[in-house]
């Protein structure tokens, strides 16, 4: 059965996803925005349909969703949006930019987003609703849980484990076999050389815990 695509959010991350979808050969039906401006009825030529709940007017078996809500430090709203529509029976499309490199045996869950220049190596697994952003590198046998954001330029060495809901900031590096607990925040440019407990924020070279 054919399906139509609705992108949830028309901000900066939404623009990147729409471009990737077009490069994959997909057509986008429309975009949802919580605050619709009369002077901005479209994004990249794609019409804004209304708020998120307009999705409920479309049957779940005819629609695929793309979660375009980005993150800076907290992924909770992005996770909530994903789970809200999953409970209503909708499914999320995975977006893989043609310029990404993904190993044949890599495991990608529902709704993952692999952006331009990203590399996913052999044996890696990526959890649902996770973003592997521009030029991020996930080396062999890494385990990335659900609702994670690997920001642009992140480098994960082999066998790293990232817990659910964690944000790894732009340009951060994580050495091999490190474990990062759920809901943790690694600051931009940090170098992680030891395990990080859940709900922890770290910054610097080497990365050290700071108060959130």
DSSP for 72-120, written as a single string: SS--HHHHHHHHHHHHTT-EE--EE-TT-EE-TT-EE-TT-EE-TT-EE
Q: Which of 13, 140, 147, 167 is catalytic?
A: 140
CB 181 within 8 A of CB 162: no
Strands 95-96 and 201-203: unpaired
171 is in an annotated binding site: no
140 classed as catalytic: yes
99 is in an annotated binding site: no
Which residues have CB under 8 Å from 68's CB, separation 6+? Answer: 7, 8, 9, 10, 11, 13, 14, 17, 31
CB 125 within 8 A of CB 143: yes
**Partners of 210 in beta bridges:** 201
Upstream peptide bond of 13 is cis (omega within 30 degrees of 0): no
Binding site per annotation, positions for acetyl-CoA: 149
Binding site per annotation, positions for substrate: 70
Binding site per annotation, positions: 70, 149
| Residues annotated catalytic, as ranges | 140
């Amino acid at each position: 059965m054919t399906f139509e695509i609705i992108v949830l959010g028309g901000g900066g991350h939404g623009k990147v996803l729409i471009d990737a979808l077009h490069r994959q050969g997909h057509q986008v039906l429309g975009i949802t925005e919580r605050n619709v401006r009369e002077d901005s009825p479209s994004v990249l030529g794609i019409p804004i349909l209304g708020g998120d709940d307009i999705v409920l007017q479309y049957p779940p078996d005819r629609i695929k969703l793309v979660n375009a809500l980005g993150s800076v430090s907290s992924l909770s709203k992005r996770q909530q949006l994903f789970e809200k529509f999953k409970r209503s029976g909708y499914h999320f499309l995975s977006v893989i930019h043609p310029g990404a490199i993904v190993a044949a045996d890599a495991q990608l869950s529902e709704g993952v987003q692999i952006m331009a220049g990203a590399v996913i190596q052999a044996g890696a697994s990526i959890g649902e609703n996770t973003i592997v952003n521009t030029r991020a590198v996930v080396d062999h046998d890494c385990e990335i849980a659900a609702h994670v954001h690997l920001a642009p330029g992140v480098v994960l060495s082999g066998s790293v484990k990232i817990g659910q809901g964690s944000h790894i900031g732009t340009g951060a590096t994580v050495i091999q076999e490190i474990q990062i607990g759920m809901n943790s925040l690694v600051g931009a440019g940090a170098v992680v050389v030891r395990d990080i407990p859940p709900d922890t924020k770290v910054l610097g070279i080497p990365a050290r815990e700071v108060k959130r």
